[in-house]
Amino acid sequence: MNALEHMPEIGRVVQVLRGKEEGSYAVIVGLVDEKFVLIADGDKRRFDQPKKKNVLHLAMQPVVSHEVTDSMRETGRVTNAKLRFAIQRAAQGKGD
């Protein structure tokens, strides 16, 4: 495993290690700075109201959803359904 594989980036699936959503999965939808990212899961935490999380409180998964990445690049947003789909695929152990 190289260090780049676990870099915070838009579209990366993460597992929450701290807080109320501990143990749940989400997708990075924004980068605040080197310490914080914005995450959403498309369900309890929608794209319109992402949660700001410290990257130290997240376990970076080896899955990056290209659907989410492409959608963010093209339109600046992503549907909640795409977020849920990305998390579901990651949970099944499938990449994009």
* C-alpha to C-alpha distance for 64 and 9, rounded to whole angstroms: 8
Tell me what pLDDT residue 94 has: 64
Q: Is a pLDDT exceeding 50 seen at residue 2?
A: no
* C-alpha to C-alpha distance for 96 and 6, rounded to whole angstroms: 16
pLDDT in tens, 56-76: 999 999 999 999 999 999 999
Strands (DSSP E) along the chain, which ranges? 12-16, 25-31, 36-40, 51-54, 58-64
pLDDT in tens, 21-43: 999 999 999 999 999 999 999 99
| Residue recorded with tokens 């659907």 | 67
Tell me what pLDDT residue 91 has: 86
- The strand pairing partners of 56, in sequence order, are none
Q: Which two tokens stand for residue 29?
A: 């939808």
Q: What domains does the chain contain, in order, with CATH numbers? A: 8-91 (2.30.30.30)
Q: Is a pLDDT exceeding 70 seen at residue 83?
A: yes
Tell me what pLDDT residue 95 has: 57
